Amino acid sequence: MEDLIIAIVAAVVVVGGGGGTLLVRSRHRHALQAPPPDRAVESGPSSGSSAAAGTATAQPTLAPGTTVTLPPDVAAAAAPEVEKPPPSAGRMVRLRSRLARSQSAFGGVLLNLLSSDRLDDDTWDEIEETLITADMGVAPARQLVEDLRTDVKVEGTRDPAEVRSMLRRELLNQVGVDMDRSLHTARHGDRPAVVLVVGVNGTGKTTTCAKLARVLIGDGQTVLLGAADTFRAAAVDQLQTWGDRVGAPVIRSDREGADPASVAFDAVNQGIERGADVVIVDTAGRLHTKAGLMDELGKIKRVISRHATVDEVLLVLDATTGQNGLRQARVFAEVVDVTGVVLTKLDGTAKGGIVIAVQRELGVPVKLVGLGEGQDDMAPFEPEAFVDAIVGG
């Protein structure tokens, strides 16, 4: 029954330059009143940018063929009713059990080995292997073993509590407590901050866009999502569903294969028009040629830069993919300036060492981690909470 009173509001913006028809959609629990007739405008022919075309049309009811203008303020009022998300601070601690399940297994092995009666070369080799098996990478694993060996010599103790705090300290050193993990999502005057989300399909990119929107909404910001992964209709629909769920309008094209840069451009323009704080742009993650990827992401960045600043380029990596994930990271880092990594599915792997490996590989921090499929299962990365999940305590 409730579905019957849900009206789908669609603001249609016509863009030029082959951009196709762009839609801004959100679900609203109350049927909207049609605006006065003088505001009703048919979509005109495309000309120049969407800002120039700027004609928005909407269907205030589900009656077919009804076309009226949807002013930006009405569009804003059409934000869906969603329950207020929890603030992001301390989320990783709250979600620690998700990490602990997988990471403590690897921590337990390390602590056992370190506390063993005979800490000989074979045991140190085993410790190193355990670290490598957890995807930490060979060089960091060697470094960590060397540091631990020095600690053991200097402190001369293998009391379990002391061993745990030693391991904790050295893991924290490797993870890095001083890296700037803040997300740059502050508005620039009348312009929204822009976050580009890149990564290979299947890593959790679309889910990440929505979860991030919800984190930001929980922290009091307004967010618009841009569906620039135009090569998969399903991805656009998926972002739409997520956007409805988390309370972020979605700017999309109705045409599969539409120019992603055009959608990104319109998302940013809409963000400016509606006074959004942050525009998050989902991009295509096809595994095609490096040149193609570079062209596509480069064009998106260039086009957005005409009206706003790209503040963050977040690379989404699936923590369960190990070396393959690192290879993907390398390719993306070569074609675009990645500012932060989002490591998804950390709830599903004991290979948390990838946090260390990927930071070392790219020289950029892990800023967010995915810890499940739910809308609030993402957290700002906190090294201490992460390491505590490994060593217990």
Residue 257: closest CA among 239, 281, 236: 236
Query: Rounded to the nearest whole angstrom, what is the least distance from the CB of residue 318 to ligand GDP in the complex?
Result: 8
Closest to ligand GDP by CB, 148 or 346: 346
Closest to ligand GDP by CB, 22 or 198: 198
**Residue, CB closest to ligand GDP:** 370
Closest to ligand GDP by CB, 50 or 253: 253
Q: Are 332 and 343 in contact (CB under 8 A)?
A: no
Give the side-chain half-sphere CA count within 13 A for 281.
Answer: 33
Closest to ligand GDP by CB, 207 or 359: 207
Task: Kindly tell me which residue out of 44, 160, 202, 292 binds ligand GDP, with binding defined by CB under 6 A.
Answer: 202
Closest to ligand GDP by CB, 136 or 315: 315
Q: Is 146 helix (H, G, I), strand (E, B) or coil?
A: helix
| Contacts of ligand GDP in 356-375 (CB under 6 A) | 370-373
Query: Contact letters (x/-) for ligand GDP, 24-43, by CB under 6 A?
Result: --------------------
The amino acid occupying position 60 is P
Burial class (CB in 10 A: 0-12, 13-18, 19+), 375: middle
Query: Rounded to the nearest whole angstrom, what is the least distance from the CB of residue 183 to ligand GDP in the complex?
Result: 17
DSSP 30: S
Q: Cα–Cα distance between 222 and 57 in angstroms, integer?
A: 23
78 binds ligand GDP (CB under 6 A): no
Closest to ligand GDP by CB, 197 or 268: 197
The residue count for binding ligand GDP (CB under 6 A) is 19
Closest to ligand GDP by CB, 238 or 339: 238
Gyration radius of the chain's alpha carbons: 24
320 binds ligand GDP (CB under 6 A): no
Query: Rounded to the nearest whole angstrom, what is the least distance from the CB of residue 242 to ligand GDP in the complex?
Result: 8
Tokens of 5: 């009173």
Q: Cα–Cα distance between 45 and 194 in angstroms, integer?
A: 29
107 binds ligand GDP (CB under 6 A): no
Residue 55: closest CA among 12, 102, 115: 12
Residue 380: closest CA among 345, 350, 341, 330: 341
Query: Contact letters (x/-) for ligand GDP, 251-290, by CB under 6 A?
Result: ----------------------------------x-----
Query: Contact letters (x/-) for ligand GDP, 327-346, by CB under 6 A?
Result: -----------------xx-
Query: Rounded to the nearest whole angstrom, what is the least distance from the CB of residue 335 to ligand GDP in the complex?
Result: 17
Closest to ligand GDP by CB, 214 or 345: 345
Query: Rounded to the nearest whole angstrom, what is the least distance from the CB of residue 371 to ligand GDP in the complex?
Result: 6
**Alpha-carbon distances of 328 from 80, 92, 286, 301, 319, rounded to whole Å:** 36, 26, 11, 20, 12
* Cα angle 347, 349, 353; round to 5: 110
**Alpha-carbon distances of 187 from 45, 205, 226, 377, rounded to whole Å:** 32, 23, 17, 25
Burial readout 161-191 (b: 16 or more C-beta within 10 A, e: otherwise): ebbbebbbebbbbbbeeebebebbbebeeeb
347 binds ligand GDP (CB under 6 A): yes
Closest to ligand GDP by CB, 54 or 218: 218
321 binds ligand GDP (CB under 6 A): no
Candidates 79-87, 187-195, 204-212, 298-306 — which segment interacts with ligand GDP by CB under 6 A? 204-212
Query: Rounded to the nearest whole angstrom, what is the least distance from the CB of residue 239 to ligand GDP in the complex?
Result: 8
Task: Give me the residues that bind ligand GDP (CB under 6 A), please.
Answer: 201-207, 235, 238, 285, 344-345, 347-348, 370-373, 377
